[in-house]
Amino acid sequence: MIRLHQRLEEAEYNKNYVLYWNHVALELVRLTHTETASGAVNGPPLVARMSPTSLLSSNRLGILHPAIHDAFFALHNTAGMALTLAQHKAIGEIGVPLRLYNQILRKVAWNYRPDKKIPDSDKNNVEFARLFTLCNAAMADAGIFAWQEKYCFEFWQPLSGVRKASRDLIVRNRGNGMVEGIPDPDRSPTMGDATDPFWLELGAPSTNSNRTPFKPAFPAYPSGHAAFGAACFQMMRLYYKNSHREGIADFDVDGPDNIAFDFVSDEQDGQNRDNLRHAFDPTVPIDDQPGIVHAAWKRRFSSLWEAMWENAVSRVWLGVHWRFDAFSSQDTLVPNETPSPATTKTSSPSSTESPPLYAVGPDQSTSYKPVAEVRCTSTGSRRDRPGKDFLVGGVPLGIDIANDIFQGGLKPTPPNRQPTGRHRRGRL
């Protein structure tokens, strides 16, 4: 994970509307993304054990009672101190999914606030409190469901899959739809054995740390990062679609929007750095700790739909996820619409050479569709839930969770509609 140097963020909202939801968000974060003393990151409590020596601020959580809030803010009584939100102060880790998405939520909520004249008006505060709650509830469920599915399928990470995969293993598992992240030797016969024991996984950068890049210690499918982001961004999309806000055009719930925003990530703020030459020292300004400084870069997103897609695919570029952990290749890759004229078929099925399903370049790399054309529609069946088709990956999982919560008005799902099988995790 990534250490956050001490800094105070500006606040735009009245503190009184944030107190309760700040407490709620802290609890959701603690339950859904906990780093243990050993450095491993666990999933939600339903599917992973949580260490009593958690590095997160469990002691601080224990005092977050409204009475303590009142005393704290009566003492400091400044807007800046009031809105040091959960993901900014309590975790102390940048790059943690829920903190990252709440930063984006806050940015978008400020851009599209209903009252442009009075920043801390009741209208702005009420909207922010509800939106903040909806998004964090969706992300909490995304964590629970994603980790439940991880330990149901238990599919290996690319670090293991690419380095250890053999041709025989790929061919044997080709029919289950769970190995599309590895080249198909039957369609690329010149590749021979697909194993690459020297393949380098970049991993999640350990910014402001002298630790090595983070490699997830849990199953790959589905991507929790993709599910968290999709749940948060889809909830924001649903909220603004139904608020009829000026400047936001109507859009399909399963397609692109025009909710644009600029964002500077913690990793690219021109201040944080990689490869510290010593352990991070919270008592020393980060500017005085030698390391490789990240360039400052403001990223422009044309829509939340685009942010959802980029958030999901980012873990593929880092090598910590397969593409199908986020979404189906059929939904996102440019198809091969011009089969090779050299395609031949013989009487022997094993010698049949088929054209690739997707368009490939000279280096055999595939290309993604324009984000505006991406739709999550590909489905498949499951042995443990016959009679129903399911979408592929963390993105549609997060979208479905947000849709369900928003349509239900943030009410608990009735017991008879709740999914079953949690007692079977790890076994289909």
Task: List, for residues 299-311, the tens digit of each pLDDT value.
Answer: 899 999 999 999 9
Q: For position 305, what pLDDT does the model report?
A: 97
Q: What are phi and psi of 214, to 5 degrees?
A: -80, 130
Q: Please say if the pLDDT value at position 405 is more than 70.
A: yes
Residue 294 token pair:
């990240």
Q: For position 165, what pLDDT does the model report?
A: 65
Q: For position 213, what pLDDT does the model report?
A: 76
Q: For position 249, what pLDDT does the model report?
A: 92
Q: Please say if the pLDDT value at position 211 is more than 60.
A: yes
- Give catalytic residue positions: 225
| CA contacts within 13 A on the Cβ side of 255 | 6
- Rounded Cα–Cα distance for residues 193 and 168 (Å): 8
Q: What are phi and psi of 20, to 5 degrees?
A: -65, -45
| Domain spanning 97-332+368-421, CATH class | mainly alpha
pLDDT digits (tens, 9 = 90+) for 137-152: 888 888 888 887 888 7
- Rounded Cα–Cα distance for residues 265 and 228 (Å): 17
Phi/psi-derived region of residue 118, left when phi > 0, alpha when psi is between -120 and 50, beta in every other case = beta
Q: How far is CA 371 from CA 231, 312, 375, in A?
A: 18, 12, 9
Q: Please say if the pLDDT value at position 7 is more than 80.
A: no
Q: Please say if the pLDDT value at position 356 is more than 80.
A: no
Where b means 16+ CB within 10 Å and e means fewer, 47-58 reads bbebeeebbbbb
pLDDT digits (tens, 9 = 90+) for 307-330: 999 999 888 888 888 888 898 888
Residue 392 token pair:
């592929």
CATH 1.10.606.10 residue ranges for the chain: 97-332+368-421
The mean pLDDT of 163-170, rounded to a whole number, is 60
- The residue count for the chain: 428
Q: Please say if the pLDDT value at position 87 is more than 60.
A: no
